[in-house]
Amino acid sequence: MPRCHRSLSQPHDPDLSRMLKVYIVTGIAFMLLPGTFVGVLNLLKISSAHTSGAADAGWIQAHGHAQIFGWLGTFILGIGYYAIPRLRLSRFSFTAAWTTYFLWAAGVLIRWAVGTWPYRWEILFPLAGILELAAVAIFAGTVYLSRPRARDDKWRESVVLITAAGWMMVAAVAVNAVESFRVTAPVFPTAFNQSYLALITWGFVVPFIWGFLSRWTPPLLGLRKTHQLLVRPALGLLLIGVALAFVSALASAVVLLVATIAFGLAIRYFEPPEKEPKLSGVHPLTPSFIRLGYLWSIVAAAIAIVAALHPIPNGYAGASRHALTVGFFAATVFTIGPRVLPAFFNVRQLWSTRLMAVSLILLHIGCVIRVTSQILAYENIAPIAWRALPLSAGFEMAAVTMFAVNLLMTLTTGSPLEAYLAAAREAGSF
Ligand code: HEM
């Protein structure tokens, strides 16, 4: 059978695992260097000059693009090609997954490079937007436009959320591409950028994370049955909140807060669990990490309301953004990734659950310092907080590096799941 027509949807297909590994390693590379390292450099410039204007807008946007598109976007595309076809497709094209990969990685890399060093930006900036759009269009066409396979009720609400998230990703990447043709310098104008950031964070990353959370966390935490009837209204409110970001920052933030609380109530994160959590392969503190991460998304929406009421200076807006991106996105990926990725990579388990816990604790401490000191320093409430900002960068950088080391070691040293199962069967425990 020719390779491009090969079905990749069987469990533990080695080609599929290999493809996912390439996506994940690329995402980690974007997260570490163009993402976190540049973020830390920006923060050091800002904190030593005591003004948020000290860092170049091109570098700030390059950092944000590397984190949202380069890290999270690459993870989402890889996991999407790996996991979604099992739900929805009987066959899908191997070529599509690799074409998406090369177009996406090239687009994100060019965009990041032009943001930091504006060489031939008139051509390269729009080119990056087009490459990214082409990559996502192929992904959407392959994964979403095929007929659903057998209906699985356990996945029903997750599929709705992930499908909505996929279309929001296409919309966000299209808006990015169109704007990259209209700019007069290799940066997005400030006013547009604020609404655009709501689109790429709340609009496409949040629904993807909700989709994966709704599938994987109820059994992981032993939660009571999800209130299915609340999930779609929460999603509807989320999308309305994102649309409102282009009209009124205040109305948008209020609706996003209601949506976030509604989704938390739907999944029943803050009710006592019904069953024992299924924590094999992850750290016992995982349920607390999940809840803490979710709490950060509520805090982010609440701070966004204050930011809308006090838009200048931009301490509240930056604090809200990092409560969402570090507190919710990064912390959730650092918690769910170690649970699902080892099985997807076809290895026995995470390299170190202890390293997982340490990286999450450091990440949350860094996020608390970052969010509070960004408000206190940027808003001129307590200038001593400028000194705490580099500390937050140190904590977050250490956390991000530990997560990367843990995943890379899991990938390279983990023993195959089959070998583990065979050994366990031989030992008579199955
Ligand atoms: C060590 C960790 C990090 C550091 C030191 C850092 C630093 C910064 C700094 C200094 C800014 C400039 C605006 C501001 O003052 O708030 C910024 C903006 C931003 N960051 Fe981070 N960041 C980190 C992690 C992350 C992560 C994990 C994400 C996403 C997953 C992220 C996404 C963003 C976004 C979207 C922006 C806005 C970019 C724009 O204005 O276009 N950051 N970050």
Q: Determine if ligand 1 sits within 6 Å of the CB of residue 324.
A: no
Q: Determine if ligand 1 sits within 6 Å of the CB of residue 330.
A: yes
Residues 6+ apart with CB under 8 A from 412: none
Ligand 1 test: best mutation among 63, 67, 72, 201, most atoms within 8 Å of CB? 63
What is d(CA 69, CA 29) in angstroms, rounded to the nearest whole number? 12
Q: Determine if ligand 1 sits within 6 Å of the CB of residue 325.
A: yes
Q: Determine if ligand 1 sits within 6 Å of the CB of residue 131.
A: no
Q: In the prediction, which pLDDT does 90 show? A: 45
Per-residue DSSP letter, 119: T
* 322 and 296 Cβ atoms separated by less than 8 Å: no
Place of tokens 């994102």: 242
Q: Give distance in angstroms: CA of 39 to centre of ligand 1.
A: 6
- Residue nearest ligand 1's atom 35 by CA: 64
Distances in Å between the Cα of 75 and the Cα atoms of 23, 30, 264, 341 are 6, 10, 24, 11
Q: Give distance in angstroms: CA of 357 to centre of ligand 1.
A: 23
Structure tokens at 39: 């973020």
Long-range contacts made by residues 75-78, C-beta under 8 angstroms, separation at least 24? 75/23, 75/24, 75/27, 75/333, 75/337, 76/165, 76/169, 76/205, 76/208, 77/23, 77/101, 77/104, 77/135, 77/136, 77/139, 78/19, 78/20, 78/22, 78/23, 78/24, 78/27
Q: Give distance in angstroms: CA of 412 to centre of ligand 1.
A: 30
Q: Give distance in angstroms: CA of 428 to centre of ligand 1.
A: 50
Q: Determine if ligand 1 sits within 6 Å of the CB of residue 76.
A: no
What is d(CA 143, CA 311) in angstroms, rounded to the nearest whole number? 40
Label residue 328 exposed, middle or buried (CB < 10 Å: 0-12, 13-18, 19+).
buried
Coil, strand or helix: which one is 224? coil
- The percent helix, strand, coil of the chain (3-state, each to 5) is 80, 0, 20
Which atom of ligand 1 is nearest the CA belonging to 65? 35
Ligand 1 test: best mutation among 322, 333, 402, most atoms within 8 Å of CB? 322
Q: In the prediction, which pLDDT does 333 show? A: 98
Q: Determine if ligand 1 sits within 6 Å of the CB of residue 318.
A: yes
Q: Determine if ligand 1 sits within 6 Å of the CB of residue 393.
A: yes
How far out from the chain centre does Cα 295 lie?
16
CA dihedral 154, 156, 158, 164 (to 10 degrees): 170
Residues 6+ apart with CB under 8 A from 272: none
Q: Determine if ligand 1 sits within 6 Å of the CB of residue 68.
A: yes
Bridge partners for 347 per DSSP: 416
What is d(CA 258, CA 252) in angstroms, rounded to the nearest whole number? 10
Ligand 1 test: best mutation among 31, 65, 325, most atoms within 8 Å of CB? 325
* 87 and 149 Cβ atoms separated by less than 8 Å: yes
- Residue nearest ligand 1's atom 33 by CA: 64
* 66 and 38 Cβ atoms separated by less than 8 Å: yes
- Residue nearest ligand 1's atom 43 by CA: 39
- For the beta carbon of residue 115, count every other beta carbon within 10 angstroms: 27
Residues 6+ apart with CB under 8 A from 44: 390, 393
Which pTM value belongs to this model?
A: 0.92
**Amino acid, res. 338:** P
**Which residue from 297, 291, 283, 292 is spatially nearest to 363, judged by alpha carbons?**
292
Q: Give distance in angstroms: CA of 63 to centre of ligand 1.
A: 6
Q: Give distance in angstroms: CA of 5 to centre of ligand 1.
A: 40
Q: In the prediction, which pLDDT does 88 show? A: 46
Q: In the prediction, which pLDDT does 311 show? A: 87
pLDDT along the chain (430 residues), means of 10: 37 76 97 95 95 93 97 95 62 80 98 93 97 96 68 72 94 98 95 95 97 92 93 98 96 98 96 89 92 98 97 93 98 94 81 94 98 96 95 97 94 64 58
Q: In the prediction, which pLDDT does 422 show? A: 63
Q: Give distance in angstroms: CA of 238 to centre of ligand 1.
A: 22
In angstroms, how far apart are the furthest CA atoms of the chain?
68
Q: Determine if ligand 1 sits within 6 Å of the CB of residue 36.
A: yes
Q: In the prediction, which pLDDT does 4 show? A: 35
Number of alpha helices (DSSP H) and beta strands (DSSP E) in the chain: 17, 0
